[in-house]
Structure 1
Amino acid sequence: MSPIPWWKNAIVYQIYPASFKDSNNDGVGDIPGIISELDYIQSLGVTTIWLCPMYDSPQHDMGYDISDYQAVYPPYGTMEDMQVLIDACHQRGLRIILDLVVNHTSDLHEWFKASRSSKTDPKRDWYIWRPAKYSDDGTRQPPNNWRSHFGGSAWEWDETTQEYYLHLFATQQPDLNWENSETRQAIYASAMEFWLQKGVDGFRVDTVNMYSKHPSYADAPILDPSSDTQVAHSLFCNGPRIHEYLREMNEILSKYDAMTVGECPNTHTIEGVLNYVSAAKKQLNMVFEFDVVELGVGTDYKYSTTPRDWALPQMKAVLKRSQALMNAGDGWTTVFMENHDQARSISRFGSDRSPELRETSGKMLAMLQCGLSGTQFIYQGQEIGMVNAPAQWPISEYKDVESTNYHEMIRQKTNGEPEALQKAMKALQHLARDHGRLPMQWSAQANAGFTAATAKPWMRPNDNYAEINVERQREDKSSVLSFWKRMLQLRKDHADLFIHGTFGLLTEQHEQLFAYTKTSHSSSAFVVLNFSEEEQKFERPAAMGGRDWELLVSNLDDVGGSKDVLRAFEGRIYLSNQLCN
């Protein structure tokens, strides 16, 4: 029997550099700040850290617009700091993975500067350029109607060369042309091997299914007749050459035993995901499926929705599909509910209406995550139960390009109509990426201990930092932080069951109760979670192996022995050890 790859049992802690810890009191988090808290990170029980982009960048999209893959953004530190971080992780037995952002670069990258300088430049074909179309009256128009992820056309006119370039994200993020083999080789050398040779252990691969566009560059179907641009996922996700590119990429990664986890939106079937993560296909180790974190988002525009516009059976269905990857073939999956592109999970799926509900639902969500099979991912602050920014914060406190672009679009489309702007703000207050980017809450000191009291943090800390912080929770055995540590240890202690076990969904259509079983060769578990503020009755399934269910863990202390009733946001995990023949 072959050994289990290290990344299957990994527990990954994601760090957003700007917001984690500021060491020099300039208001921006940095690499020395991360180094200073490695002991804290290790104390959680995690085995791997994932560092969001720390490369040099003009920061139009918080570092996902990279101007130099082989340099560090100066406010974050130096190349020497990065080597210290890599080595310090390894000295502690931690692994480190970086963000691999290679669908696009910054428009200030030297490659793009050359590409846009002339139609005859050797790097012209390193990016995606197309001539304009013209209407009957001679008006210049983009090559097609594709919409950027951040709103508006996905094409930008370039005066110098009189053509459009494609940008699926911000205008400052031109898409690389993966059709060009020379471009691909430069990407592998500059963005991958450069860092693998410095000792990094793998990559989270940004927008991994967007490298191959449909070669026709046809117009997308019109879903919004009032707009000149349309959602075009079907034309730039999962394109015809994507698996060829990833196999080629894997040939390099495999030499270093590097872990890969791909960001894979708009891929909604088990078969589609297995095309990326099947071990036999030798492409990616695993991907993030976004069906859970996209619950309740708008179909046309992400924020064209109302808060909590989802039902629990929908969550169960998408988690069932994700867990089925473990049984459907030789694939592997991930478990996550937060990252830098999402609002806080307690505010979305639990309750932040009161401290009691916040803490109980935060622990309940930890039970959900830690009970599911696959590689576990935790986002900074999730382990202390950080929540969304207060509802009364105005748009001026929101810094993310996606948030500000959406608010401005609504303002322009409605001529500033107050009701429309109020609706937009409610959606942003519930779903905006900004919520996950507020500074880490270390203590009750000014600026949440993220930076000095005299500094101005790049983003305002949440108003509740005196109540929710690491220092307050570290020694409190009943805190959300202590509970996360306990759950991660239980996950390790019962790895066959919780990391590798078989998932069985119960109460499929129940609107408030989420119950499932996990089974392995030697034991079984029954996980039951109340996603409501009302008491919920439940029934335990027949125990495995002739043994009764024993309570393994609960997020409330005073659990009645046989009372099968859950209080508000209560969760329990029962264990039954099978009799081995």
Structure 2
Amino acid sequence: MPETTWWKRGVVYQIYPRSFQDSNGDGIGDLAGIRQRLDYLVSLGVDAVWISPIYTSPMADFGYDVADYCGIDPIFGTMKDFDRLIEAAHARGLKLILDFVPNHTSDQHPWFAESRSSRTNPKRDWYIWRDSAPDGGPPNNWISNFGGPAWEWDEATGQYYYHAFLKEQPDLNWRNPEVRQAMYDALRFWLDRGVDGFRVDVIWHLIKDAEFRDNPPNVAYQPSQAEINRFLQVHSADQPEVHEVVGEMRRVLEEYPERVLIGEIYLPLERLVTYYGQDLSGAHLPFNFQLIQTAWNAREIAALIDEYEAAIPDGGWPNWVLGNHDQPRIGARIGKQQARVAAMLLLTLRGTPTLYYGDEIGIGKVEIPEDAVQDPWEKNEPGLGLSRDPERTPMHWDGSAQGGFTTGRPWLPLDPTFTQCHVEALSKDPTSILTLYRRLIALRRQHLALSVGRYVPVEAQGDMLAYERRHGSERFVVALNLGHRPHTLVLPVGANGHVVLSTFLDRDDEPFDGQVSLRADEGLIALLQD
């Protein structure tokens, strides 16, 4: 793929549709609401919008239990609303990426209704059915990602079905070619409507061990962890045959020009990069969550970047993520000042960055009262801090009631700081985190060195993380202080230039010669002179 490809140069912005903008006062965000806010996304400077699931669903897992892959759930609107959204997005130069959830359906999907109707139904093999173990219990020791056994007994047909998540989310049998064809047809349905790509949910789960062997115990498991960690997922996910499926999905997208395939993959780097496929025939962007999973430590992050850059196959394109709908927000993890440094890191590393809605206005940890909890994972395993509700709370647009998100009662409570921390106020503040995001994205768009340029590490110590970005004759140094004390970065002999942007937004054009001093919790981008 040439460096001009949109998903290489571009910035992706993830929207959790329930929480972005409500247009009808029911307290839940919708497609019409997203359309109303497209001009904001243009002003932010992003290139593509990824929308979490909007398909027809009973909402047992808020859309990740799909009952119709070619339908829009009435909560979000109609197919006409979707067509209007994609037309409006494209008119503004924005790409639209949909979430695709192929590992499992809802138990209300017509396919599953047929599958569970009898053992002889033609769709019986579309799902994973097994006889009980000799003792009458589940077929093996596989655990649901949301806690408890991953097998549910079906009294009517006398077998268990497998569900990697909720029992309301039975797993499809991706070894069945009819399942594959049906799912690829669903992809084509949306591609024909103009969708620019897909983020594929839990793509590494699609194929399971053909012999359904027990997973080995995890000797490092602690009772304070989620139950899924009791066993190593050796046989229930990341099977060699999954790469054939990913390659087939890629070929479907290649029937259309300039589409992108993004795979959700929570695996170590050496396994993650295999999802690029043989000769780059797999996902264009196997999602790299390492910045979420690594401690906020300069030396560890420097080592991670080096390891990732070395592991990517020739021609493969990197990508970086700081947060999403399943992970605590970056502001909640590292605090407000370091969240600004994190923004600079994300938007200056080599590769495609994905922003999560609300991070650009500094939403942090939102406390959810017990009686307001929505997340089924938290309800299944209470007390372990597993709730994903805090990172799914509504967007703050202005200082009015409910932050301009809805005229009704929001489905989740807003962060109480919304009266000060909202788009309208932050847009007027030249030192706000929103202004920082806008300037970072604009700088990235203006200079190829900061989007597709080479990554060159710069020697640094302690809490300092530094690197160069180079393209042609242009050279930038990015210096990030991940600590809470001032530091001075000594540059290679002869290095001089001027500051282009500081995370404090107050050092534009400041010259330097040989070294750069940073305040506590500061990051900066500097242009090097020849």
> Does TM-score exceed 0.5, indicating one fold?
yes
Q: Is the 8 A contact 2:331 2:364 kept in 1?
A: yes
Map of 1:130-529 to 2, 5 A cutoff? 130-135=130-135, 140-190=136-186, 192-223=187-218, 224=221, 230-257=230-257, 258-269=259-270, 272-277=271-276, 280-295=279-294, 311-324=297-310, 328-349=313-334, 351=335, 358=336, 360-390=337-367, 393-407=368-382, 421=383, 424=384, 427-428=385-386, 432-452=387-407, 455-495=408-448, 497-506=449-458, 510-529=461-480
Asked if the contact 1:279/1:331 (under 8 Å) is kept, the reply is no
Take 1:228 and 1:330, find their aligned partners in 2: how far apart are those partners? 35
Distance 1:570 1:143, change over 3 A: same
Q: Distance in 1 between matches of 2:173 and 2:9?
A: 35
Task: In structure 2, give the amino acid aligned to 1:551.
Answer: V
Distance in 1 of aligned mates of 2:347 and 2:228: 44
SS in 2 for 1:435: helix
Note the C-alpha offset of 1:2.
5.2
Instruction: Output the CA distance in 2 between the equivalents of 1:363 and 1:447.
Output: 25
Deviation (angstroms), 1:434: 1.7
Per-residue Cα deviation, 1:521-545 (whole angstroms, up to 9, x for no partner): 32222211112222223222345xx
Q: Is the 8 A contact 2:243 2:277 kept in 1?
A: no
Corresponding letter in the other structure for 1:539: V
1:476–1:279 Cα change, 3 Å = farther
Correspondence for 2:500 among 534, 542, 552: 552
Equivalence for 2:125: 125
Cα distance in 1 for residues equivalent to 2:149 and 2:476: 50
User: Residues 251 and 469 from structure 1, CA distance in 2 versus in 1: closer, same or farther, beyond 3 angstroms?
Assistant: same
- What SS does the corresponding residue of 2:253 show, helix, strand or coil? helix
Q: CA deviation at 1:228?
A: 10
Distance 1:228 1:285 in 2: 29
Instruction: Give the secondary structure class of the aligned counterpart of 1:573.
Output: strand
Q: 1:100 Cα deviation (Å)? A: 1.0
SS in structure 1 at match of 2:290: coil
Secondary structure of the equivalent of 2:476? strand
CA drift at 1:361: 2.7
Q: Is 2:25 the partner of 1:73? A: no
How far has the Cα of 1:572 moved from its partner? Answer: 1.1
SS of the residue aligned with 1:538?
strand
CA, structure 1 residues 104+228, in 2 after alignment: closer, same or farther (shift >3 Å)?
closer
Conserved 8 A contact 2:486-2:519? yes
User: 1:550: how far off?
Assistant: 2.1
CA contact (8 A) 1:126 1:177 kept: yes
Contact 1:324/1:503 (8 A) holds in 2: no
What are the superposed Cα offsets for residues 267-306 of structure 1, whole Å, 9 maximum, x if unpaired?
421xx3343225833221111122221236xxxxxxxxxx
Structure-2 change in CA distance of 1:187 and 1:534 (3 Å): same
Q: Output the CA distance in 2 between the equivalents of 1:251 and 1:483.
A: 39
Structure 1 residues 397 and 317: CA distance shift in structure 2, 3 A: farther
Amino acid at match of 1:145: N
Which letter maps to 2:398?
A: S
Distance in 1, Cα, partners of 2:427 & 2:213: 55
Task: Report how far residue 229 of structure 1 moved.
Answer: 8.3
2: CA distance between counterparts of 1:375 and 1:2? 14
Contact 2:280 2:316 in 1 (8 A): no
Equivalent position amino acid for 2:354 in 1 = F
Contact 1:525 1:575 in 2 (8 A): yes
Deviates more, 1:200-209 or 1:328-337: 328-337
SS of equivalent to 2:371 = helix
One-letter amino acid matched to 2:380: N
Cα offset, 1:3, TM superposition: 6.3
Secondary structure in structure 1 of the residue aligned to 2:261: strand
Gaps of 5+ in 1: 297-309, 352-357, 408-420
| Counterpart contact for 2:144–2:228, Cα < 8 Å | no
Q: Which amino acid aligns with 1:217?
A: F
SS of the equivalent of 1:503 reads strand
Segments of structure 2 that go 5 or more residues without pairing to the other structure are none
| Counterpart in the other structure of 2:519 | 567
Deviation per residue, 1:337-369 (Å, 9 max, x gap): 0111111102213x1xxxxxx2x3332211111
Letter paired with 2:194: G
Equivalent residue for 1:52?
A: 52
The alpha-carbon deviation at position 312 of structure 1 amounts to 4.0
1:235 and 1:517 map into 2 onto residues whose CA distance is 41
Question: Does the aligned pair in 2 maintain the 1:145–1:230 contact within 8 Å?
Answer: no
Once residues 488 and 72 of structure 2 are traced to their aligned partners in structure 1, the CA distance between those partners, rounded to angstroms, is 54
Per-residue Cα deviation, 1:181-218 (whole angstroms, up to 9, x for no partner)? 0110011112x011111111110111111112121211
Say whether the 8 Å CA contact 1:442–1:450 is kept in structure 2: yes
Q: Secondary structure at the match of 2:247?
A: helix
Q: What's the CA shift string for 1:80-134, capped at 9, x where partnerless?
A: 1001001111111111010011011111111111111111000000011111113
- RMSD after superposition: 2.2
Give 1:325 deviation, angstroms.
5.0
Which moves more between the two structures, 256-265 or 519-528? Answer: 519-528
Partners of 1:449 and 1:338 lie apart in 2 by 23
Report the equivalent of 1:7: 7
1:535 to 477, 486, 493: 486
